[in-house]
Amino acid sequence: MKMANVFAKNLSSKQVMATDGTEIGILYNIVMDIRTGDLIDLIVKPDMSLDTSKYKVDEQYILLPFESVRAIKDYIVVDKNIARGLTPEPVEI
Amino acid sequence: MRADITSLFGLNIYTETGTYVGKVADLVLDVDERKVRGLAVSDINKDIFDVTSRGVILPYRWVITAGDIVLVRNVVNKFRKANKVVEED
C-alpha cells in the first residue's frame, strides 16, 4: 500500500509502536543524509517500560533503522525485528 | 553527511548564484521511498516566485548541500511563467 507524503513537523512527538502492538516510545527526531535526502534512522525516546538492551542506544534515545517503518499515520508502526537490527529468521522448509 | 532533520528547520535558502530563496519551514518525507521529497519554503523571495501563496515546495533534488544555510540549484526564472513547475515533482 502506497503511503502518502508527510510533513516532517506532523511526525514530531508521534507514538511509535511495533507490529505486535507493543509501545516503543515517542518520535524525537529523524536522521537523514543531507546529500542524497535518504532517511536513515528514527530517534525515539523509549517508553519507560521498554527493555532498551535489544536496541541501538544513543544516550537516552534509541535508534531504529528507517527500513523498519511499516506505516505512518496516527501512529508510527515499525517491524520489531528490523528495528532491533536483526534480519528475519530464515524459514525452514 | 548525516544530520537530524530538525537541524534544517529555519535555515535560509540561497541559490548557487547567491540569490535568497526563502527559509526552510518543513520537509516533505516520502515514507515508501525512505527519502526527503521536498523542502517546504516560507518567507519566500517574491522577486523570484511569481505566486500568491505564502510558501512553495522545492524538490529536494535541487538541494546541493546544507550546513549553516541551504544551497540550491539556480531556481531564478523557473517560476516566472509557469507556477506549475512546483507541482510537477
Question: Cα Rg for chain A, rounded, in angstroms?
Answer: 13
Cβ contact B13:B49 at 8 Å: no
Q: Give strand pairing partners of A17.
A: A23, A77
> At which residue does the C-alpha cell 537530524 appear?
B4
Of B89 and A12, more confident: A12
Q: Is residue B62 part of a domain?
A: yes
Q: Is residue B34 part of a domain?
A: yes
Q: Is residue B78 part of a domain?
A: yes
Res A20 pLDDT > 50? yes
Q: Residue B70 maps to which CATH number? A: 2.30.30.240
Cβ distance of B37 and A5 shorter than 8 Å = yes
Q: Is residue B16 part of a domain?
A: yes
At A82 the pLDDT is 85
At B1 the pLDDT is 87
Using an 8 Å CB-CB cutoff, list residues of chain B that contact chain A. Answer: 1-6, 9, 26-32, 34-38, 40, 60-61, 63, 65-66
Instruction: Read off the pLDDT of each residue in B10-39 and give the average, rounded to a whole number.
Output: 95
Q: Is residue B60 part of a domain?
A: yes
Q: Rounded to two decimals, what is the model's pTM?
A: 0.84
B67 to chain A: closest CA residue? A34
pLDDT band at A88 (very low <50, low <70, confident <90, very high): low
At A81 the pLDDT is 85
Q: Is residue B89 part of a domain?
A: no
Cβ distance of A7 and B28 shorter than 8 Å = yes
The overall average pLDDT reported for chain B is: 87
Res B89 pLDDT > 50? no
Cβ contact B51:B70 at 8 Å: no
Q: Is residue B36 part of a domain?
A: yes
* Distance (Å, whole) CA A11 – CA A8: 5
Instruction: Read off the pLDDT of each residue in B56-64 and give the average, rounded to a whole number.
Output: 94
Res A84 pLDDT > 90? no
Q: Does A37 touch chain B (CB under 8 A)?
A: yes
At A1 the pLDDT is 64
> How many domains are contained in chain B?
1
Which of B22-31, B47-56, B72-81: highest mean pLDDT? B22-31
At B47 the pLDDT is 87
Q: Is residue B67 part of a domain?
A: yes
Cβ contact B18:A21 at 8 Å: no
Domain that holds residue B77: 5-84
For A8-23, letters b (16+ CB in 10 Å) and e give: beebeebebbbeeeee
pLDDT tens sequence across A42-63: 999 999 988 888 889 988 999 9
Res A6 pLDDT > 50? yes
At B12 the pLDDT is 97
